[in-house]
Amino acid sequence: MSAQIKMPALGESVTEGTVTTWLKQVGDAVEADEPILEVSTDKVDTEVPAPAAGVLESIEVGEDETVAVGTVLGYIGDGSSSSDEQSVPDCAQNTSSPAPGETAPVCAPAPVPAETASAPDTHPQQPSYASSALPAAGTDCTAYVTPVVRRLAKELNVDLSGITGTGVGGRIRRQDVKAAADAARQAAREKAEAALGTPAPSVHTSSCAAGSVKAELADKAAAAAALRGTRQKMTGLRKTIAKRMTESLQTSAQLTTVMEVDVTRIVALRAKAKDSFAAREGVKLTYLPFFVKAATEALKAHPIINSSVEENEIVYHSGQHIGIAVDSPKGLFVPVIRNAGDLNIAGISRAISDLAKRTRDGSISAGELSGSTFTVTNTGSVGALFDTPIINQPNVAILGTGAIFKAPGVVMDQDGNETISIRSKCFLAISYDHRIIDGADASRYLRDVKMRLEEADFGAEIGL
């Protein structure tokens, strides 16, 4: 009997999902619990494991198709029902047309004639879901290409038609695809270096070791060369992010207020406590927990900032559930620290570390990505001074924390004398829903966050 692969339920409120990528093709052997496809919902992207070991017999739902939870996506069997289809002849030994009822070999496309090579197809390759396929007219049937190699070529953006296989019978191997990808990167790097006026070292050489921004930029340009001039479909997650950002701007009357904060004392506290804190708590002490702590305490004093709008009513939330914007390889996620108002800096630090790690490795659950009442986004993590963040609905406000920088500042001594000294500063930006939050409300909230940070009375919470 065949095992069914079903669309999983990825959260209490999730009723459907989209197949984004099949990691296996029909005829491929699979192990139990091995990732077999990727699916996307409006809350999370995740891999779906194989329910049993065997052979992928059929794919019932193709990529980009959206179906209800519980829908059968494909079947895994022992392979006996499609043994004829899985018996692929060696192209090197058989180049004739298949007889009726036989399966033709899957071959690499023949090289494109020079007169047509100037117009490359900029659309990404799509995997075939057929268990067998006739070679297209003009293909070279001297090189059999396995599904694994085809997938690798797709990932590395390598055109199989330009590769001469080094395997038995001219078969294209993984090494051949990787070598072609390296050659393409080297060529792109040389082109980028030539444009910048510096010689190009080997692709295996780290130009960043020399500390040259120019060389580092050339490395990044070479790595991005495969994307330039192409088209790629949005992932399900990216489409969801795009939809939500647009809906947020259409729903709320959004305005941003910015204040400068002197965080010199915070910087000194962290420097003094970070080593003992890491040894005691098991996580690094970053600046973000200080900002989250101050923002959460201020929410208790300004409940309108920790509210939401439902039709003609304002809902004041009883708890402070803080969403933390996390930049992951798959896109932007906002996991939630539940009841952050009950946590000290150590608890907030552990929560941020755990949520960020599980978000980036894909093990975060859909339930942990919803239910926030306020959001904090660390826009300064890559050096931005401040931005105007878009509200994470149904929140009515979001706080952006900018990069910490040194600047001259006026300080007053105990005798009331003013002097200029080097200070550590940052900008805090709060975007808020002007339908229910007035500018004065936002400014009063932000002023309290600023004063709490400048006072920096956090020593007891970090072991000082």
Catalytic residues: 434, 438
Among residues 54, 53, 59, 55, which one has the least CA distance to residue 22? 59
Six-digit token string for 188: 């792109």
Residue type at 405 in one-letter notation: F
Instruction: Locate 242 and state its tokens.
Output: 């795009």
Of 294, 317, 221, the C-alpha closest to 452 is: 294
The rounded distance, in Å, linking the Cα atoms of 96 and 117 is: 27
Candidates 312, 328, 438, 319; CA nearest to 374 is 319
CB–CB of 452/298 below 8 Å? yes
- Phi/psi for 311 (5° steps) reads 55, -115
Residue of 429, 414, 425 whose CA lies nearest to 454: 425
User: In the structure encoding, which two tokens stand for residue 455, read together?
Assistant: 């006072």
Quote the tokens at residue 259.
């204040």
Name the pairing type of β-strands 397-401 and 374-377.
parallel
What sign does the CA torsion over 19, 23, 24, 29 have?
negative
- Cross-strand partners of 379: none
Say if CB 300 and CB 320 are below 8 A apart: yes
Please say whether the beta carbons of 380 and 263 come within 8 A.
Answer: no
Ramachandran category for residue 6: left, alpha or beta (phi over 0 → left; psi -120 to 50 → alpha): beta
Question: Could you tell me which of 358, 363, 355, 362 has the C-alpha nearest to residue 336?
Answer: 355
Picking from 322, 352, 348, 345, the residue whose alpha carbon sits closest to that of residue 458 is: 345
- Across the beta sheet with 54-59, the strand order is 3-6, 72-77, 54-59, 29-30
